[in-house]
Amino acid sequence: MPDGIRVNFDQSAFERWANDPTGPIARHLDNLAQVGAREAVRLAPESPAGSGGRPAGWLKRHIGWRSGRDARGIYADIYADARTPQGHDYGLDVELGTKPHLIISHGNYPLRNRRTGQVFGRIVHHPGTKPQPFLRGALEYLRGIGR
């Protein structure tokens, strides 16, 4: 280094700036999370007749974003908090798919599709579903715009 030039790095000032929930990094994270949530809504599948006892568009209406600060610093989350009528994480099932499983009536009555009138019986052998990665797709989209 030439004589007379000195660089001092104030780590504590940098940490305060980098973790300021109203600062430029937090605003950038918020912007990315909003864009990512919009992309997740675009990618999320929608059954015209609804699915799992919920109306059409249920999953899309339950995709959002939030930001905050914890012990590790500022963060932004993109989430899908849609639940089935039984309280199961519907977004997770759509994102990762499901294995074949049984659906069992919780009463002394058959399972049915009320929209079509179709009756299935008290136990249904569901074949499972294929993954439809709308959240991972949104993150891949964000990776692409960051280049």
Per-residue pLDDT tens listing for the chain (147 residues): 567 888 888 998 888 888 888 889 999 999 999 999 999 999 999 988 777 778 899 999 999 999 988 888 899 999 999 998 888 899 999 999 999 999 899 899 999 887 788 899 999 999 999 999 999 999 999 999 865
Distance between CA atoms of residues 137 and 146, nearest Å: 14
32 class by beta-carbon count within 10 Å (0-12 exposed, 13-18 middle, 19+ buried): middle
pLDDT, residue 44, reads 97
CA angle 100, 58, 50 (to 5 degrees): 60
> Radius of gyration (Cα) for the chain, nearest Å?
23
pLDDT, residue 96, reads 97
Q: Dihedral sign, CA of 136, 78, 64, 83?
A: positive
pLDDT, residue 1, reads 53
Which tokens hold the place of 102? Answer: 């049984």
